[in-house]
Chains A and B, each alone.
Chain A
């Protein structure tokens, strides 16, 4: 089973989709039940990944390799390291949570809805598994179509605009990325006489510095739009606000991570010199910091609850990219942990908004107030989600942000100083939101009789709360898993980094 574990994880949702097609569209509950079974099954089959993962081993594990298109040098090549393993777990967990949270929320075209989610799930897992650039690109594009439909069919009033904007932005970025991929592919052929898309092989290519920078920017456009980094973020608020709850959750928790993952898996290892180029690093760090602060400031202005959380993603993802381009172990490991954290906390926040939207069908902050009196359980859950997002110690967000700031401090103190202001602003807009929505007296009569969280809704939140606490209290397993891949990554981009550190440490000891 071990040698096909990843394929099983990858194709479980697709197999579920194949069966789903035979369930008649009118029996909605059967469809819902099946979709939840498949999503939970998808989570269960991914569990062996955790137990059998060898965190001491370097390189990729559970690797599967098969010829796919020999005349182009394309392989079906999948495998995981610590970074992708964590992101796959995030994907399978949220696959289940998204399916469960949609039970009541979606009532029309149920079959198509879950079919799209299953397709999306396979696409996202494929992105994190692929070790062949062609395969990666196929999955990368595969994700667009189901997400377009999820926003476009089940979304809010401006769904069509949001859906096509999402599609066009991401596509424009990814076709430019394709040119970068093809340049590497061609250069490999020029230097080694064979065509291959295998990442391990492409890492051997030595590009002349000018071309390497161009390829870097081509990749950058593709990944930065997906993250999204400032100034490519404008699709995000629209997509988030218009998407149905589960769509927003998947979008925030998993889809955005495809961009940051792209930087870690492709930009840094394949283009180490460009990634370490002082000017490029400075530009990216500045863009990240602008994203952090700008995103947070825009949050302060929002009247729409969901839009506020959407912009907070811009801010939080700014931390993730800042950590990556700090180019040191703390920064990168912190970035990956923060990606997981952002998935958990923003996922929870979107779920919480969905709970309220199902009851009141409005997201105007001014429509609410004093909800804590009516829905005490909900208020507690929302408080935990909010505090985890704001980076309160003992919850997950703190661990990630702190480590990233450590890394940023090591790279450049001024970056860290600016980035810290994002933490403060983050606390400000989230606490203020909480105050306006939850605290005080109930001012709106419509809010008086809202039912509190149901058992199903609690089941949606509890695992996420537990996960947030786990990372917040005892993050060591995560950093252990990440240690090896991060070390290889840093060694690749900054050769001699660890050697230099050891020498420095030795020097201080002597002194």
Chain B
């Protein structure tokens, strides 16, 4: 206690430190070394180096945990905790960041907005995510959230010349700030009840009270608003389609995957931590939210013509499915959330990568019709997109099926039969709009001849996400083990 900054603290913090350090380095070197915009793609290497160091730190933490048979390492007087949960989510952030970074340079060049700050913002955002997954203190979590969100506000508006992008950023900023206010209010009540910002203290204070205590109800209501906003659950989902559509597609991909995963980590920390004893209060509430989320997401996606918007609504509905795992709340359910987040990362990134490939000079490539005849032009991309869409819909033998499998099983195990039936029937609805894209890619014979704009990074990223989406579906055993051990407590 006496020491201000111990070696354990450093050990736990190292991955985030690396991210922040390399983020600053990028800002500096962009200015000094690469005055010519054409050379800025080398900044990707800086970012990858940062990820390598971050990954090394995570790997050492993982090795330390398993070597000592420990469940967790705590640091900074219990405000940061590295456990299987934090490591699992951090690995997902690393993968998502690397994938987004290696496809960005080419895309940003086409958009004509290739600036060094972009890479720094990505790293800072990931740094915030680290705290969301590892934080066990209200202040730490809140600052992590704001760090991530601020970076995203800027990145969503990165296309300065485009009104759509500006509008999206403004909407996201205003609504995001509003929801953060709710969250901060909820946290202040939690602090008021417990006299501490540590999640474990808050949890014991909550456990000693009646769950229907008005103060606890108020805390749950306000905190939920903030959290549900971040995962874009109905009725707080309105920002998502606009932000997703206006943002540069690479940012959309990052936002839909990494930000959502981080927000889910945050949500799980709060709901399975301090609020665990209030389950009778929030379970029906979240069940209603989950149904509304799946309903809005799926029904609104049907009529979208813009693929980014369509995928935005589909990602809203996926948030509903993930919530179901939390509602079930047993081992299978939490396992299901972990597996779902993992497979969602790969398949959703993959789908956005194909959309990124459609963006060429002068062609937005965002409409469902822009994919017409893709099977003729470049069958590889069309087939990969088919795999991603089937996986998003949850058909075997793709990865997406396993996520749904766990969620459905957990609902049945805990007797939530109605929720299970609703959730399964929405699979059929989802197939309808995913197959609008498939129809456009495979069925028309005519197509415009402009070739796709690909880069090495994009091809690598597509290959990795595509292979993983298929491999997890066909041979899931090692991946399921990984997700299971991550939640071992």
Contacts and interface: CB of A to CB of B under 8 A. Distances in A.
A179 B480 contact: no
B89 to A, nearest CB: 21
A457 B294 CA distance: 51
B254 interface: no
Interface size grouping (class) on chain B = 20 to 34
Given A171-B428, A186-B412, A186-B413, A179 B476 contact: no
A26 to B, nearest CB: 13
A261 interface: no
Contacts of A144: 395
A491 to B, nearest CB: 30
B432 A164 contact: yes
B390 interface: yes
Interface in B380-411: 390, 395-397, 405, 408-409
A172 B445 CA distance: 30
A175 B401 CA distance: 11
A68 B432 CA distance: 31
Given A142-B396, A145-B395, A182-B409, A152 B425 contact: no
A148 B436 CA distance: 12
Given A141-B396, A142-B396, A178-B408, A152 B427 contact: no
B390 to A, nearest CB: 7
Interface in B4-38: none
B52 interface: no
Interface string A163-180: 010011001100110110
Contacts of A108: 445
Contact of A71 (B396, B424, B425, B480): B480
Contacts of B435: 148, 164, 167
Nearest to A159: B443
Contacts of B314: none
A172 B395 contact: no
B439 A167 contact: no
B interface, over-half SS: helix
B424 A175 contact: yes
Interface in A97-129: 108, 112
Nearest to A152: B443
Interface size grouping (class) on chain A = 20 to 34
A218 to B, nearest CB: 9
Interface in A122-170: 137-138, 141-142, 144-145, 148-149, 152-153, 160, 164, 167-168
B447 interface: no
B442 interface: yes
Contacts of A175: 424-425, 427-428
B324 to A, nearest CB: 13
Given A141-B395, A141-B396, A186 B390 contact: no
14 contacts: A69-B475, A137-B396, A138-B396, A138-B397, A141-B395, A145-B395, A152-B442, A153-B442, A153-B443, A168-B432, A172-B425, A179-B412, A182-B409, A185-B409
Given A144-B395, A182-B412, 7 more contacts: A69-B480, A71-B480, A108-B445, A141-B396, A142-B397, A160-B443, A175-B425
Interface of A: 68-72, 108, 112, 137-138, 141-142, 144-145, 148-149, 152-153, 160, 164, 167-168, 171-172, 175-176, 178-179, 182-183, 185-186
Interface of B: 375, 390, 395-397, 405, 408-409, 412-413, 417, 420-421, 424-425, 427-428, 431-432, 435, 439, 442-443, 445, 475-477, 480-481, 484
